[in-house]
A and B are shown apart, each in its own frame.
Chain A
């Protein structure tokens, strides 16, 4: 395919050519960044969480008398375990992605203070007996808590439990003691100290952000009002029935409390609702933008074809095949798209840097640029196909007619 005539004719139609290039460049810049934003959000929504997300449901009980809590919890748990289909039940203080975060900063030396600079903020989960089994925590090393450790741990108005054992997530263990076994190590916040007895697969924090995702630790606790979430584990098909029955049962046991049940899947969906709706909105913007760009290419190319009917006829008359004519317009589009894409990749990069500076946006992975380029090449070729076919259909006899 001869490319020189393409350039010659583009030089004659500089402004329309430049407009196509500009449109493609802008589309490329916006597309790359929008797709990058979508990817970032999809990653967030898909964050792994090592509990039994399908089987867990939660009934939160509020408004009970703190003085009676030590006897209320065993009574409630016994009632919940009586519901058909419940495999395990326990009380916990909070759940991953529930927004209900109790964070504390710990250091690695016995005199570490909450206010020290080089401490690690850890989300604290307090578990009643049976908590690890009810949540479906996955033990990687060590052990969970024994009965004495649960029974011997209390808050009594202080912010941290009186126990001296903890189970941490793998990510937290790696962050606190990189490259070393975490079992038997201790973390401190004067006057509290906790020794790691077990390591579990990564569980999300009650609220996550860019830097704090998996820094969670679990502590045994018994008979405290902060243990207000009843975790019920059942087969996924029983779950919705179980949570309804449990809500009813807990409300009936104590009419002065407020019991609210929800499946864990709903907690997760709610947490990421805004994120996923933003992702869908971005998808919509990308689709509409690509459609507008494609329509623009169709419009301008159609006009070109119309304007050059005579020349096309002449070329056909002097021996060019339909394929040649079609290829001519396709090549022309390829040249324009390439120019647009090259400028567009530069623009996309600049836009990315700007967005990173002003918004919570990560660096765009490099392969988004060539991927965006290929997408626009394909779009360009697709858009030009119609007008190019129409051009190819121009009969040679047009050359002999005046307009």
Chain B
């Protein structure tokens, strides 16, 4: 029976070529726009470390003066002073913990005729690589002893290794960073979790390439490398020695294995804030411990424009569906005579209803196929935009299948009203009119 309906639908669609093309085109445009924006939205709101994100937490405390504090509204600060970051780090209350700041680093070329260049970098502590599951191509990270000794060691990204050493194992070699020698201890594989969760509030991008060099925090600060972002909450006398100033410039991440560890760390953090208050260092004791995904939500890392685009695209899809309802209805009413004949020859209302729904879903499938073409076109357009996330915009298998789900659902909704109108037509008057 279904084959007969498909055959009928094809005949009917072929009879009104212009109308069919209009319906398919409108539906495809709506689907193309929606799936394009939805793909981008999903990519941008994705999980940067799916296997680890639920165990990573970002402690927040608030060293600001009392002035300007509103109970219940003021959130704790997003970055820490050196003193607080080191206090929390050295307490070792989490399974792993690392403090970090972003920086710009001048890297000297190895060949004589080339010019030095600037690269993005991270200054951090030893747990960084194991805590974030950063994969190594050669070598590994540095040790806590190296942190304490201000050892001039560096982990470089795969792309920098390709650029400087042609991809060969460079562990043990030395490169000049900010006019100082650093010995390479590890080379990372391609690693750039998206969104760039640990760069938030530290003066980095939200999406895009990862950093090229990773230096021990103490070693980097010993040669006066300045962090990208510094936020001071009281008068500063000396910008060179940030460690002693009332300035926030470090992010601290901790790894907590289970709910009990989270609860005890929360307690520890609250205790720390209270202790600092009684010492007279803090005037606000609010703390927060968001996990990775919550932190990204708090930061509203997905750009407003992307969310607006998605909302707009679905508004557009709605218009396209209404449009398809109208055109399908027009077609179906024009075929009142044919329906009358089929009803008179014994087709039930259900048969007529199913027939029209089959026709609608054929339009939907065609719309979905063409919509896929429009989606690829749209994503190609996104890739050529100047946005940070441009290069990420690709269709994955999930969204590929979802396109057809959207197309079918949209067309079936569009087909409901016309099919219902068709099946309630009384056959007799139609036959007479013909």
Q: Which A residues fall within an 8 A CB radius of B?
A: 15-16, 19-20, 22-23, 26-27, 29-30, 34, 37, 62-63, 65, 113-117, 155, 157-159, 189-191, 251, 255-258, 270, 273-274, 277-278, 281-282, 285, 288-289, 292-293, 295-296, 299-300, 302-304, 306-307, 355, 359-361, 403
Given contacts A20-B326, A26-B319, A62-B106, contact A278 B305 (CB under 8 A): yes
Known: A274-B305, A274-B387. 19 other contacts (CB 8 A): A16-B326, A26-B322, A29-B315, A63-B179, A155-B239, A158-B239, A257-B116, A258-B115, A273-B386, A281-B309, A289-B316, A293-B323, A295-B25, A296-B22, A299-B22, A303-B330, A306-B334, A307-B333, A355-B311
Q: Which among B116, B307, B319, B387 is the interface contact of A258 at CB below 8 angstroms?
A: B116
Chain B 329-352, CB-CB to A under 8 Å as 1, else 0, gives 111011000000000000000000
Flag whether B236 is at the interface (Cβ < 8 A): yes
With a cutoff of 8 Å between Cβ atoms, the chain A residues found around residue B327 in the complex are 296, 299-300
Q: Could you tell me the distance between the alpha carbons of A209 and B374 in the complex, rounded to whole angstroms?
A: 34
Given contacts A258-B116, A274-B305, A300-B330, contact A34 B387 (CB under 8 A): no
Q: Which among A63, A295, A296, A360 is the interface contact of B118 at CB below 8 angstroms?
A: A63
With a cutoff of 8 Å between Cβ atoms, the chain B residues found around residue A300 in the complex are 326-327, 330
Q: Which among B232, B234, B308 is the interface contact of A355 at CB below 8 angstroms?
A: B308
Smallest distance from the beta carbon of A331 to chain B beta carbons, Å?
Answer: 20
Is B386 a contact of A296 with CB atoms below 8 Å? no
B63-71, B131-139, B182-190 - the one binding chain A: B63-71
Is B26 a contact of A277 with CB atoms below 8 Å? no
Is B237 a contact of A63 with CB atoms below 8 Å? no
20 A–B pairs (Cβ distance < 8 Å), ordered by A: A15-B329, A15-B417, A16-B326, A16-B329, A20-B326, A34-B312, A113-B235, A157-B240, A191-B235, A255-B115, A256-B116, A258-B115, A274-B386, A274-B387, A278-B309, A292-B26, A292-B320, A306-B334, A355-B308, A403-B434
Smallest distance from the beta carbon of B381 to chain A beta carbons, Å?
Answer: 8
Is A115 a contact of B319 with CB atoms below 8 Å? no
Given contacts A299-B22, A300-B326, contact A116 B67 (CB under 8 A): yes
Is B319 a contact of A289 with CB atoms below 8 Å? yes
A-B contacts, CB under 8 A, total: 146
**Segment 234-280 of B: residues with Cβ below 8 Å from A:** 234-240
Q: Number of residues in B with C-beta < 8 Å to the partner?
A: 59
With a cutoff of 8 Å between Cβ atoms, the chain A residues found around residue B385 in the complex are 274, 277
Q: Could you tell me the distance between the alpha carbons of A386 and B344 in the complex, rounded to whole angstroms?
A: 37
Q: Could you tell me the distance between the alpha carbons of A288 and B329 in the complex, rounded to whole angstroms?
A: 22
Smallest distance from the beta carbon of A58 to chain B beta carbons, Å?
Answer: 16
**Segment 1-45 of B: residues with Cβ below 8 Å from A:** 19, 22, 25-26, 29-30, 33
With a cutoff of 8 Å between Cβ atoms, the chain B residues found around residue A27 in the complex are 319
Q: Select from chain A the residue with minimum beta-carbon distance to B66.
A: A115
Q: Which among A292, A299, A359 is the interface contact of B19 at CB below 8 angstroms?
A: A299
Q: Could you tell me the distance between the alpha carbons of A50 and B232 in the complex, rounded to whole angstroms?
A: 30
Chain B 89-127, CB-CB to A under 8 Å as 1, else 0, gives 000000000000000101010000001111000000000
Flag whether B318 is at the interface (Cβ < 8 A): yes
Q: Could you tell me the distance between the alpha carbons of A26 and B26 in the complex, rounded to whole angstroms?
A: 15
With a cutoff of 8 Å between Cβ atoms, the chain B residues found around residue A293 in the complex are 319, 323
Is B329 a contact of A23 with CB atoms below 8 Å? no
Is A115 a contact of B239 with CB atoms below 8 Å? no
Flag whether B400 is at the interface (Cβ < 8 A): no
With a cutoff of 8 Å between Cβ atoms, the chain A residues found around residue B108 in the complex are 256
Q: Could you tell me the distance between the alpha carbons of A27 and B318 in the complex, rounded to whole angstroms?
A: 10
Q: Select from chain B the residue with minimum beta-carbon distance to A104.
A: B232
With a cutoff of 8 Å between Cβ atoms, the chain A residues found around residue B315 in the complex are 26, 29-30
Given contacts A159-B236, A307-B333, contact A63 B116 (CB under 8 A): yes
With a cutoff of 8 Å between Cβ atoms, the chain B residues found around residue A403 in the complex are 434
